[in-house]
Amino acid sequence: MHHFQYRGNELYAEEVAVKDIVAKAGTPVYIYSHATLERHFRAMDDAFAAVPHTICYSMKANSNLAVLKTFANLGGGVDIVSGGELYRALKAGIDPKKIVYSGVGKKDDEIEYALKAGILMFNVESEEELDRINEIAGSLGTKAGIAIRVNPDVDPETHPYITTGLKKAKFGINIERSLDQYKRAAAMPHIEVIGIDCHIGSQLTKISPFVDTIRKLKRLIAGLEEAGIRLTYFDLGGGLGITYDEEAPPLPAEYGRAIVEETRDMGLHLIFEPGRNLVGNAGIMVGKCLYTKKGEEKNFVIVDAAMNDLARPSLYGSFHGVQAVCKDQDGSIVADIVGPICESGDFLAKDREMPRFRGGDLVAFMSAGAYGFAMSSNYNSRPRAAEVMVKGDTFTIIRERENRDDLIKGENIPDFLQK
Ligand code: LLP
């Protein structure tokens, strides 16, 4: 159950009619439900109530300041992957001691920025990165808290583009080589080894890959203890899936039970990096039908939202539910929903049964809160969409729609081209 429900024929976001939001904010627009964000955060947090833990929201899923502040107010931290994300997190008031920094390509200035901000730990993804962090911490006269991101070689059984914990992936340090790297790290003057980290993939619909991962990491932790290396934090990454269509992923409470059971005897402080699970079903994207047309073999519904606004269908063939904002259409059709972009890959739904939309109808794309706006671009010189947060019977534009000046911001025509 989420907070996007019909009252009569009208789709509502909490207590607000979606069409009233569109009247003010225009289309395409992303709409987030504050109550749903809170509920999802609490469900994850409560799932681990029995043990010391921190929920470090993986903010790449949706990095709007208002979303971050919602979680900060509930005691959440964040998982970041860039200096830009750190900047946003600090602006939103996230406690630096609840920030973990993942990613295979941390740059010198980003490492320095994170050290100066006093983040909890770096999730180190390579041997060279470890050296670099040690050097930079040394030059700043400080020590860097680190975990090694261990690649456990476990198959999460999800889409190949979002599988990260297999041997062939670019992520983390192979589990067989991790013990040596831990020993090296422990001997470094400007490194403080405090944790172990992994992240095996996204949109997982089973618990067993998480459990397999924990069991593998436990063997490594036993080896660390023998070597005299004691950890404080166990970061299990993110990855718990959501329902887009027919998927039936475990609920956070079930996930919590299984993980607490597997990890309790270790006595470590658990860290989780959920992204999609917190925000995916807390958001929708709404576009407007511009035209409909009958092709040779297909029906097309052409909307004013496109792959630059919601890239997931084009990129991964992902499913997003399609719903009418006002259910007053005459029957249904099977059609593709496409955007104005000049690429055949620009579709938001394919061969889908849907209401017989007409020009002017509003179309809601469901489960768009994660990796929706965050992955949007200006391709085809399209200003990025507005974002709105609803709370009860009120709503706020939390990101203005871009305008045409935003599109050319920072561009210069060189003198030699002036006539
Ligand atoms: N931690 C790390 C280190 C990650 O790389 C990710 C996601 C997460 C946590 C959060 O995973 P989640 O809980 O959201 O599954 N753009 C793709 C998803 C890419 C996921 C990248 N990493 C999509 O739209 O499906």
Tokens standing for residue 27: 């289309």
In angstroms, the CA 148 to CA 384 distance is: 37
pLDDT value of position 167: 75
pLDDT, tens digit (0-9, with 9 covering 90-100), for 41-50: 999 999 999 9
Cα 195 to ligand 1 centre (Å): 20
Residue located nearest, by CA, to atom 5 of ligand 1: 199
Domains of the chain, with CATH numbers? Answer: 4-31+280-407 (2.40.37.10), 34-278 (3.20.20.10)
Give the pLDDT of residue 231. 98
pLDDT in tens, 377-416: 999 999 999 999 999 999 999 999 999 999 999 999 999 9
The pLDDT of residue 130 is above 80:
yes
- pLDDT class of 160 with cuts at 50, 70, 90: confident
Tell me, in angstroms, the distance from the centre of ligand 1 to residue 232's CA.
Answer: 24
Q: 73 CA distance to ligand 1 centroid (A)?
A: 23
Among this protein's residues, is 289 annotated catalytic? no
Across 323-349, average pLDDT: 97
How sure is the predictor about 143, in pLDDT bands with cuts at 50, 70 and 90? very high
Supply the pLDDT for residue 166: 75
Mean pLDDT score, 332-353:
97
Q: What is the mean pLDDT of residues 180-188?
A: 98
pLDDT at 1: 54
Using DSSP's 3-state secondary structure scheme, residue 154 falls into: coil
- Mean pLDDT, rounded, of the chain: 96
* C-alpha dist (Å) from residue 32 to 1, 145, 263, 273: 15, 35, 34, 20
Ligand 1 pocket, residues with Cβ under 6 angstroms: 58, 61, 79, 102, 162, 199, 202-203, 237-239, 273-277, 312, 316, 371
Percent of the chain residues topping a pLDDT of 90: 95
Model pLDDT, residue 269: 98
Please tell me the distance between residue 144's alpha carbon and the centre of ligand 1 in angstroms: 25
* pLDDT exceeds cutoff 80 at 135: yes
Q: Which of 56, 198, 326, 342 is catalytic?
A: 342
Closest CA to 100 of 116, 78, 117, 133: 78
> What pLDDT was estimated at residue 159?
74
Using the atom order of ligand 1, give the atom closest to the CA of residue 241: 15
From 52, 119, 78, 124, select the one nearest 270 (Cα to Cα): 52
Q: Supply the pLDDT for residue 142.
A: 98
Compute the distance between CA of residue 138 and CA of residue 188 in angstroms, rounded to an integer: 10
Comparing CA positions, the residue from 183, 219, 214, 211 lying closest to residue 197 is: 214
Out of 54, 58, 123, 125, mutate this one to test ligand 1's pocket (max ligand atoms within 8 Å of CB): namely: 58
Q: Which atom of ligand 1 is nearest to the CA of 61?
A: 14
Residue from 79, 150, 276, 319 whose mutation best tests the ligand 1 pocket (most atoms within 8 A of CB): 276
Minimal-distance CA residue to ligand 1 atom 24: 371
Residue 348's pLDDT is: 98
Using DSSP, state whether 224 is helix, strand or coil.
helix
Cβ within 8 Å of residue 83, ≥6 positions away: 107, 109, 110, 113, 114
Q: Note the pLDDT tens digit of each residue in 365-375.
A: 999 999 999 99
Q: Which among 271, 273, 309 is the best mutation to test ligand 1's pocket, defined by most ligand atoms within 8 Å of the CB? A: 273
Residue whose CA is closest, atom 16 of ligand 1?
371
* Cβ density class 181-219: b for 16+ within 10 Å, e for less: bbeebeebebbbbbbbbbbbbbbbbebebbbbbbebbbe
Q: What is the mean pLDDT of residues 70-76?
A: 98
What is the model's pTM?
A: 0.97
Please report the atom of ligand 1 found closest to the CA of residue 371: 24
